[in-house]
Structure 1
Amino acid sequence: MTTTTTSRPTPGRLLSVLLSLLIVALLAWLGWQLWGTNVVAEHRQREVVGALQEDWGDRQGDATDDPLRLGDGFAVLRIPRFGADFEVPVIQGVSEDDLASGVGHFSDTARPGQVGNFAVAGHRVTRGQPFADFPSLRVGDEVTVETRTHLYTYVLDDGGTDIEVPASDTTVIRPVPGRPSAVPKRALITLVTCADLTTTEDRSIVHGHLVASTHL
């Protein structure tokens, strides 16, 4: 009678299999973070822009003083430097969910066109990465913000690599950036994003000022 002997996996072979599975899982996670989240977020952002434009309809009404709810889209941001077709919704709030739907408005800063500092943040990588080309921004670049009733045009005073601050420095989004006690006299815009493509505690900043306000 012939006896069949089944060999047991050695500890080394088990470890090799586990490491292979771990590598596959890590690559899948990285793929999702770098590409999958972009596909989902870009689709969501297009939906929000479309919904806003449909909701605005004939442009009647004035929503300037209407309360903004966290998570709601209320404007469309365009930056020609990022491409002629670049447009992204502005979402009230800066939570991860908000930033996955567009750029997030710091809710304690001014609204578009108002005297003070209209400050927004966006991702450079993942979640649609609307600010991926942030370093390409130049002094004099235009940034437009469209709302239900107005189109606001800002001109940048800084380039995309000119200002870098710790994430804890909130003075850059104050009504007068860098001067917490100053009284604002101009309508400003501030764009905020991560200073590097990897995890970082630093932020890149650009400021700009309002040059035109067109009633739609």
Structure 2
Amino acid sequence: MTTDPAGPSPRRHAHARRRPRRRRLLTTLGLALVLTGLSFIAYVGWELYGTNIIAAQKHEEIKEQIAEDWANNIDSNAAGLLRVERWGSDYEIPIIPGSDLLDSTGRSALASGVGWYEKGAGPGEVGNFVLGGHRSGRGAVFKRILDLRAGDLVEIETRTHLYTYQLRQNGDEIKVEYTTSWPLFPVPDPNSRGATPTEPLLTMITCAEMFSTDLRRIVIGELVDVQEKAPATAST
């Protein structure tokens, strides 16, 4: 038997050194992918569930403040309370003013309740009273919009009045691009740009899909009843 007096070749040594480095690289890459996946899952979980918990707490805080203000005949910072008959007797969400549903005030309003497009009409006023809400995350206040049916009643309570609107169509009838502007018109109709409103209307706007913001669902209602509330007796 002969032996190699020169020992293992330099090429064999170099190859042996590269293998541990390759294993370490693959291990590091695998860990990075796992951490990225876990981070994404945590983010989605927070957006879908964590923000709902925070929003629900915020809703209760605002409603408590509304009750206190109204008991003292003070107009609250919130515009009122929204109730939707089809969504159950426990559905009651504060309506938060926002100068625009897409600017910073609008995003803040949507995160705290139902956002009211202040540039439009107010509750019960002639014109278009526009409300926006999320379908997923941040309270998901309009998550059941597809359940709505023509004829359903929507109640808006303010410090002084109860306004009842009746929906004109089902929640799944109108779907538009998110850039569509006619739902914000004083007369919410694609053929009514610049028209003068003659009746009090309600328009509810939300995302068409649960996890997409490219399209919007629109539901329109008309005012069918107004009740004036008795003045509250201020607490002492």
State whether TM-score is above 0.5. Answer: yes
User: CA shift at 1:181, angstroms?
Assistant: 2.0
2:137 partner amino acid = T
Q: Separation in 2 of the partners of 1:96 and 1:115? A: 26
Residue in 2 that maps onto 1:183: 196
Q: Separation in 1 of the partners of 2:53 and 2:210? A: 18
Q: Separation in 2 of the partners of 1:35 and 1:149? A: 35
Please give the TM-score of this superposition, normalised by the length of structure 2: 0.82
User: CA shift at 1:170, angstroms?
Assistant: 1.4
Match for residue 52 of structure 1 among 38, 42, 66:
66
Q: Separation in 1 of the partners of 2:227 and 2:96? A: 21
Q: Separation in 2 of the partners of 1:163 and 1:214? A: 30
Residue in 1 that maps onto 2:13: none
Match for residue 131 of structure 1 among 134, 142, 161:
142
2:120 partner amino acid = T
Aligned residues: 201
1:104 partner amino acid = G
Residue in 2 that maps onto 1:19: 33
Please state if 1:90 is matched with 2:95.
yes
Sequence identity of aligned pairs in percent? 39
1:163 partner amino acid = I
Runs of 4+ in 1 over 6 A off after TM superposition: none
Q: Separation in 1 of the partners of 2:215 and 2:32? A: 36
1:122 partner amino acid = G
Q: Separation in 1 of the partners of 2:124 and 2:90? A: 23
Contact 1:124 1:133 in 2 (8 A): yes
Please give the TM-score of this superposition, normalised by the length of structure 1: 0.89
User: CA shift at 1:180, angstroms?
Assistant: 1.4
Alignment map for 1:32-47 (pairs within 5 Å): 32-47=46-61
1:74 partner amino acid = A
- Structure 1 spans left out of the alignment, 5+ residues: 1-6
Q: Separation in 2 of the partners of 1:47 and 1:158? A: 33
Q: Separation in 2 of the partners of 1:50 and 1:137? A: 28
Q: Separation in 1 of the partners of 2:34 and 2:161? A: 56
Contact 1:154 1:208 in 2 (8 A): yes
**2:187 aligns to what SS in structure 1?**
coil
Residue in 2 that maps onto 1:4: none
Q: Which has the larger radius of gyration?
A: 2
